[in-house]
Chains A and B, each alone.
Chain A
Amino acid sequence: MFRKNFVEYAILLLFKDRNDHLFSFLIFSFIVFILSSVLFISDSLQYDLIQSINAQPSIVVENTRAGRAYQMHEGHVYDASQITGVSSVEGVVDGYHYFAQKRLWFHIIGDASLAKDEMIIGQGVQKAMAELYYEDEFHFLTEERLIKVKINKIAPKGTNILSNDAIFLNPNTARAVLGMEMDEYSKLYVSVPNPNEVGNVALKIVEIYPSAKATTQEDAMSAVRHLYYYKGGIFMILYVIALVSFFILLKNQISLVYGEKKKEIAILRSLGFCIKDIIALKFIQNTVVSVSAYLLGVALAYVYVFVFNAPYLRNIFLGNELENSISLTPVVDLNLLFLIFLFGVIPFLAFVILPAWKIAISDMSEAVKS
Chain B
Amino acid sequence: MSIFLSNEIIVFLLIELILIVLMAISQVNIVSIVRHWDFDATTPLQYALEKKNYLVNTILYFTLTCKVILFLFFIQSLNSLAGIVPGAMCSAGVVGANHYGNALLLLKLLLIFGFGLWLIVNKLDLASIIFPYLKRKYLLFTLLFVGVLGEFVLEILYFSNIPLTVPVFCCSVVFQAPKLPFGYTQTLLVLFFYTLFGVIVLFNTLKQTMASFTCNLLFLFIAYYAITYFFGLYVYEMPNHKCPYCMLQKEYYYIGYLIWGSLFLGIFFGIMPFLIERITQKSYVYLLKYSSICLAITALICSIYVVRYYLMTGVFL
Residue numbers of A with Cβ under 8 A of B are: 39, 221-222, 225-226, 229-230, 232-234, 236-237, 240, 243, 275-276, 279, 283, 335, 338-339, 342-343, 346-347, 349-350, 353-354, 356-357, 360-361
- Chosen A-B contacts, 18 in total, with CB atoms closer than 8 Å, are A222-B83, A225-B83, A225-B84, A226-B1, A230-B1, A232-B5, A232-B7, A275-B54, A276-B57, A279-B54, A279-B58, A338-B76, A339-B73, A342-B15, A342-B70, A343-B11, A350-B18, A360-B54
Q: Which B residues are in CB contact (< 8 Å) with A360?
A: 54
Q: In the complex, A343 Cα to B10 Cα: how many Å? A: 9
Known: A335-B76, A353-B55, A361-B51. 19 other contacts (CB 8 A): A222-B84, A226-B1, A229-B1, A230-B5, A233-B5, A240-B14, A243-B14, A276-B57, A338-B76, A343-B14, A346-B69, A347-B18, A350-B22, A350-B62, A353-B58, A354-B25, A356-B58, A357-B54, A360-B54
A226-B7 in contact (CB<8A): no
Measured between beta carbons, the chain A residues less than 8 angstroms from B51 are 275, 361
- Among B7, B55, B76, which residue has the most Cβ atoms of chain A within 10 A? B7
Which residue of the partner chain A has the closest CB to B5? A233
Interface residues of B in 1-17 (CB under 8 A from A): 1-2, 4-8, 10-11, 14-15
Instruction: Please classify the interface of chain A as helix (H, G, I), strand (E, B), loop, or mixed, using the class held by over half of its residues.
Output: helix
Q: Which of B45-88 contact A (CB under 8 A)?
A: 51, 54-55, 57-59, 62, 66, 69-70, 73, 76, 80, 83-84, 86
Q: Which residues of A contact B97 (CB under 8 A)?
A: none
B19 within 8 A of A: yes
Q: B173 → chain A, closest Cβ, in Å?
A: 13
**Residues of chain A with a CB closer than 8 A to B2's CB:** 233
Q: Quote the shortest CB–CB distance from B55 to chain A (angstroms).
A: 5
Q: How far is the CA of A231 from the CA of B59 in the complex (A)?
A: 35
Evaluate whether A357 and B14 lie within 8 angstroms (CB atoms) in the complex, with A233-B6, A339-B8 already known: no
B contact residues vs A (CB 8 Å cutoff): 1-2, 4-8, 10-11, 14-15, 18-19, 22, 25, 51, 54-55, 57-59, 62, 66, 69-70, 73, 76, 80, 83-84, 86
Q: Determine the residue in chain B with the shortest Cβ distance to A357.
A: B55
With A226-B84, A338-B73 already in contact, the answer to whether A39 and B15 are too (CB < 8 A) is: no
Q: Check B58 against A237 for contact (C-beta < 8 Å).
A: no
For A349, the chain B residues whose CB sits under 8 A away are: 62
| Contact between B7 and A346, CB atoms less than 8 A apart | no
B15/A229 in contact, CB under 8 A: no
What chain A residues lie within 8 Å of B4 (beta carbons)? 233
| Nearest chain B residue, comparing its CB with the CB of A335 | B76
Give bound CA distance, A200 to B5, whole Å: 31
User: Is B80 touching A335 in the complex (CB atoms < 8 A)?
Assistant: yes
Contacts of B57 in A (CB 8 A): 276
CA distance A353 to B69 in the complex (A): 18
Contact A353 B5 (CB under 8 A): no
Which of A234, A276, A339, A354 gathers most chain B CB within 10 Å?
A: A339
Contact B5 A229 (CB under 8 A): yes
- Are B84 and A237 in contact, CB atoms less than 8 angstroms apart? no
B205 to chain A, nearest CB (A): 33
Residues of A within 8 Å of B70, CB to CB, are 342
Residue in contact with B86 in the complex, picked from A222, A232, A338, CB distance below 8 Å: A222
- Which residues of A are found within 8 Å of B25, using beta-carbon distances? 354
In the complex, what distance in Å separates the CA atom of A276 from the CA atom of B5? 40
In order of increasing CB-CB distance, the 3 nearest A-B pairs are: A233-B5, A361-B51, A343-B11
With a cutoff of 8 Å between Cβ atoms, the chain B residues found around residue A39 in the complex are 7
Q: Chain A residues with Cβ under 8 A from B76's Cβ? A: 335, 338
The CB with the most chain A CB atoms within 10 A, among B4, B19, B84, B86, is that of: B84
Q: How far is the CB of A261 from chain B (nearest CB, A)?
A: 18
In the assembled complex, the Cα of A360 lies from the Cα of B80 at a distance in Å of 42
- When C-beta atoms are compared, the residue in chain B nearest to A333 turns out to be B80
Closest to A274 in B: B54
How far, in whole Å, are A237 and B10 apart by their CA atoms in the complex?
7
Task: Using A357-B54, A360-B54 as known contacts, say yes or no to A347 and B1 having CB atoms under 8 A apart.
Answer: no
Contacts of B15 in A (CB 8 A): 342-343, 346-347
Interface centre among A354, A357, A360 (most CB of B within 10 A): A357
| CB nearest neighbor in A for B84 | A225
Contact A342 B73 (CB under 8 A): yes
Min distance, Cβ A277 to any Cβ of chain B, angstroms: 11
Residue of B nearest to A38 (CB): B7
Tell me, rounded to whole Å, the shortest Cβ–Cβ distance linking B184 to chain A.
29
Complex CA distance for A338 and B5, rounded to whole angstroms = 18
Partner of A350, one of B6, B11, B19, B86: B19
Q: CA A349 – CA B15 in complex, angstroms?
A: 11
Smallest CB-CB separation from B83: which chain A residue?
A225
Rounded to whole Å, the gap between the CB of B119 and the closest CB of chain A is 14
